Amino acid sequence: MNQSLAKNTSLQIVLVDGSDICLAGTSELIKHQYPDAKISIAQTANDAINQISNLQPHLLITDISLPDTQGKKAQTYIGIDFLQEVMQNYPKLNILVQSPYIKRLVQIKPAIDKHQGGFVIADKNITSQEMLLRIDGALKGFTCIKDITDVYLYPAIYEKLNIKPEILQLLRLAFNEGLQDKAIAAQICVSERTVRNHWDALQEALGIDCHELRNQGKNIRIVTKIRAREAGLID
C-alpha cells in the first residue's frame, strides 16, 4: 500500500496469532503508531481466511504457528498452508510474518518470491521500533526476507519440495507424530515403496550420502531429522 492510500483511507489490518498476549501487545503497538487503523483479530487460520475475504485488508500480520480451528493445537504447517492459500488468492496483499519459527518459510520461498505484495518477516524478539519499521516496509510493498535466505544450506531442496509437498507431510508424520514407514504409507494412502522413494528424494535434496553414513555407523533417519531441522523443514 502506498503512502497516499495510507493518508486518505482508513488503514485495515488483520492480525492473526494464537496467543492473547501477543495479540494484545501487537495491537497496542499498531494503535500507537496508526491511531486511525482498524484492527481485526483472528486466532485461527480458518477465521483469518474469512476475515481477509470479508475485509480485504491493506496488511496481514500473522504468526506461522496457528491452529486451524478454535480449540485445536497450533502447528507451524497450518500456518504455512494458510500463507500459501493467502498468497494464491490475494497476490497483492501486504504480509508481515511475525513468528519465532520464521525459518520454516524457506519451504515456500518460491511462492514468496512470486508474491506481488509486500512480504516482510520479523522474529518476535525484535524491538518495538524495529517492528514498526517492518510494518511500514510491508505497507509500502517492500520484500524483506533476509532472515530466511541466510539459512540456505541446501539450495536445491526448496524448489524440489515446492513441487513435492507430500515430502513435507512425510517429515511431519515421521518426526512430529513418530510414525514408521508402514504407518505413514497407510496414512497418506500410498505404498511403502513410494514412502521409501520420498525418503530418497528428501535425502538427496539434503545432501545426505546414505552409503557413507552407513560406513560411519550413523543412523540415517536421525541425520535426516537433523538436516531437515537445520533447513527449516521441521521444528
The whole-number pLDDT of residue 156 equals 55
Query: Hunting for cell 520479523 — which residue is that?
Result: 122
**Which secondary structure element, helix H or strand E, spans residue 121, and what is its range?**
strand 119-122
| Contact indicator for 166, 188 with CB cutoff of 8 Å | yes
* CATH of 3-149 given 3.40.50.2300, 1.20.1300.10, 3.40.1190.20, 3.30.300.130: 3.40.50.2300
The whole-number pLDDT of residue 151 equals 46
List C-alpha distances in Å: 215 to 34, 196, 207, 212. 60, 20, 16, 5
Q: What is the dihedral of CA 201, 205, 211, 217, to 10 degrees?
A: -110
- Domain ranges in the chain are 3-149, 156-230
Domain 156-230 = CATH 1.10.357: no
Residue partners of 144: CB distance under 8 A and separation at least 6: 119, 120, 121, 134, 137
Residue ranges in the chain whose pLDDT is less than 70: 1-9, 147-165
Q: Is 1 exposed, middle or buried (0-12, 13-18, 19+ CB in 10 A)?
A: buried
For the record, the C-alpha cell of 223 comes out as 541425520
Backbone angles phi, psi at 60, to 5 degrees: -110, 125
The model's pTM is 0.70
Share of the chain above pLDDT 70, in %: 88
| Contact indicator for 115, 95 with CB cutoff of 8 Å | yes
The whole-number pLDDT of residue 1 equals 44
The whole-number pLDDT of residue 12 equals 96
The whole-number pLDDT of residue 158 equals 58
